[in-house]
A and B are shown apart, each in its own frame.
Chain A
């Protein structure tokens, strides 16, 4: 079973920030939080990952709470092309298999 819970769907206006929450209350000390997204008919695409510090890259920012029991993925200026299913996953740093939940379906609206 997935170790994360996410809302099944969210809407966001184009140009606004999209904030996608994830709960992972049973995360272990050595487990990272990973985010992937999947656009229709394509394989999942890596977005970002982090252990306990906040992370930022060209795609998104990841905010992890101090107790590491939840996190938020932020897309700062959502575009229509960001419409996708977003998966939050916890896993170790050794490339072991990931357990995907059903994710959050983000719809960016014009």
Chain B
């Protein structure tokens, strides 16, 4: 499979717990993006890596959120002390040029 892989597909967690999501981009893509999408809305940008460097972060990315991309390969997005408002689909995308390839996303439900 040469697409963008995200794991897990679904996560249900209790409020206050920490969660971590993983994204494996297309191997030759040097750019990796995280987006969040709530019901009925388009995806919202969270953060962006070029290789291992995190180059941009949205103001949506509060202190409870952290993203890493060690060695410029896979990336993780961690949310600490989850809140009900964090419930959303978290999408990862990668690119080398002009167009993104998105993964299928991780749907987070905070109960």
Contacts and interface: CB of A to CB of B under 8 A. Distances in A.
B105 interface: yes
A85 B37 CA distance: 13
A43 B91 contact: yes
A72 B89 CA distance: 28
A102 B99 contact: no
A97 interface: yes
A34 B48 CA distance: 19
B99 A46 contact: yes
Interface in B29-51: 31, 33, 35, 40-45, 48, 50
Contacts of A32: 98
B56 A97 contact: yes
A93 B42 contact: no
B13 to A, nearest CB: 20
A93 B98 CA distance: 5
Contacts, number: 56
Given A95-B97, A97-B56, A43 B41 contact: no
Interface residues of B, number: 27
A39 B45 CA distance: 19
Q: Which of B4, B44, B93, B104 has the most CB of A within 10 A?
A: B93
Contacts of A103: 42
A contact patch SS: loop
A34 B96 CA distance: 16
B40 A97 contact: no
Given A43-B105, A44-B91, A46-B100, 20 more contacts: A2-B42, A34-B99, A36-B100, A41-B104, A42-B104, A42-B105, A43-B4, A43-B93, A43-B102, A43-B103, A43-B104, A44-B102, A46-B99, A95-B50, A96-B56, A98-B43, A100-B35, A100-B42, A100-B44, A102-B41
Interface of A: 2, 32, 34, 36, 41-46, 49, 85, 87, 93, 95-103
Would you list the 3 A-B pairs with minimal beta carbon distance, nearest first?
A100-B42, A43-B102, A97-B45
Interface of B: 4, 31, 33, 35, 40-45, 48, 50, 56, 58, 91, 93, 95-105
